[in-house]
Structure 1
Amino acid sequence: MEAKKGEIASNKNPKKANLLDHHSIKHILDESVTEIVKSKGYPEDVRLSNIRLLIGTIIIIIALFAQFYNKKFPENRNFLIGCIILYIVFNGILQLIIYIKEKNAILFTYPPTGSFHTTGLVITSKLPRFSDKYTLIIASADPESISAKPPVEFTKSVTQWFTKEGVLVEGLFWKDVEDLIKKYAEETKKSK
């Protein structure tokens, strides 16, 4: 396993962030977390992303119909009102999905193949503005499930994982995320 991590890290270009931009730092850390969790056998669940894309496509189609309808303004007034209402409704649904289901989640997964768990993971991260504290939370994708376990998390300073030049020290970050995944697995065993 250690050799595999070394191969993965040596085959890539180092990940570099602008240390003055917290969005850049969070993006690189989130991207790395996704790679690590997937490498641990958790396949990504893209159903929610697909639903959001479908709703976004519907919104675009509604806007295109409103823009290119073949009648001019006074004649198409009712049609435009209908398009505006549909546009608002579908945008509201999209925002509701993001607010209720997605929140700060960076990754949804299925359970690992061959696992007895019936629920995947939701990986959530936070890096508040003007703060160096990165919080990573691993929780069950279905908290109401019988196999749902309590979430685990860590909060650490991003200065532990980046050099002064802004290069991510992947080995250190990899170890911290792996330890959190192990902690979640141990919580699973303890609660049985």
Structure 2
Amino acid sequence: MQEMKAEIATKNSKKANLLDHNSLKHILDESVSEIVTSRGYAEDVRMSNVRLFIGTIIIVIALFAQFYKKKFPGNRDFLIGCIVLYIVFNVILQLISYTKEKNAIMFTYPPPGSVTSTGLVVSSKLPRFSDLYTLSIVSADPKSISAGKPVEFTKSVTQWFTKDGVLVEGLFWKDVGALIDDYAAVPKKKK
């Protein structure tokens, strides 16, 4: 019976390669997304859809350039146009990633029945050759009157992983939940 419980626990647990910084960050980011959505925040996928649409346009441009009816000397101007469009749309895609997304894990809508009218932008950083994971939560519309103050924490990933690379989800959920509660806390008015 104990062996079966241990086997089930290993199947359900999230395991990472402790020597791979991308593996650690991926598991932590995935868990953060689960925690935020479990708190009633629905994910806003509009930005992802825009990026997918632009990526589709880029692929269509490349396919037109590849399979155009005429052979090379005859389609020179068409190819130049396709190359220019390909570059322009790739630059647009990079600008969206650089200016809007940055280190964002997810964008959310406000929870249903909430008094706030803005969602969250949840971002994380785990620099290479570092064990310090930084998680920050800011308002999706920082200029809104209902925007909360940005909150973040920085902690070592060694606090959340066992020596075998298994994520201790209870500890991580507690830390992320406290950060979400800190963001959602109503600031007390000074008398």
Looking at structure 1, the residues matched to 116 and 75 of structure 2 have their Cα atoms a distance apart, in angstroms, of: 55
User: Which residue matches 2:5?
Assistant: none
Task: Specify the SS of the correspondent of 1:163.
Answer: coil
User: Which residue matches 2:52?
Assistant: 53
Residues 144 and 106 of structure 1, relative CA distance in 2, 3 Å threshold = same
Looking at structure 1, the residues matched to 93 and 172 of structure 2 have their Cα atoms a distance apart, in angstroms, of: 33
Aligned length: 183
Looking at structure 2, the residues matched to 96 and 43 of structure 1 have their Cα atoms a distance apart, in angstroms, of: 25
**What's the TM-score once normalised by structure 2's chain length?**
0.92
User: Which residue matches 1:97?
Assistant: 96
User: Which residue matches 1:172?
Assistant: 171
CA RMSD across the alignment = 1.7
User: Which residue matches 2:85?
Assistant: 86
User: Which residue matches 1:137?
Assistant: 136
**What's the TM-score once normalised by structure 1's chain length?**
0.92
Q: Tell me by how many angstroms 1:178 deviates.
A: 0.3
User: Which residue matches 1:183?
Assistant: 182
Is contact 1:125–1:135 with CA below 8 Å preserved after alignment?
yes
Q: Tell me by how many angstroms 1:149 deviates.
A: 1.8
Give, as a single letter, the amino acid of the residue that structure 2 aligns with 1:179: A
Residues 102 and 45 of structure 1, relative CA distance in 2, 3 Å threshold = same
Looking at structure 1, the residues matched to 62 and 78 of structure 2 have their Cα atoms a distance apart, in angstroms, of: 12
Task: Specify the SS of the correspondent of 1:190.
Answer: coil
Consecutive unaligned residues of structure 2, counting only runs of 5 or more, are 1-7
Give 4+ residue runs of structure 1 displaced > 4 Å after superposition: 9-12
Is 1:125 aligned with 2:118?
no
Q: Tell me by how many angstroms 1:147 deviates.
A: 1.1
% identity of equivalent residues? 77
Residues 13 and 148 of structure 1, relative CA distance in 2, 3 Å threshold = same
User: Which residue matches 2:19?
Assistant: 20
Q: Tell me by how many angstroms 1:190 deviates.
A: 3.4
Q: Tell me by how many angstroms 1:189 deviates.
A: 3.8
Q: Tell me by how many angstroms 1:38 deviates.
A: 0.1
Consecutive unaligned residues of structure 1, counting only runs of 5 or more, are 1-8
Is contact 1:149–1:191 with CA below 8 Å preserved after alignment?
no
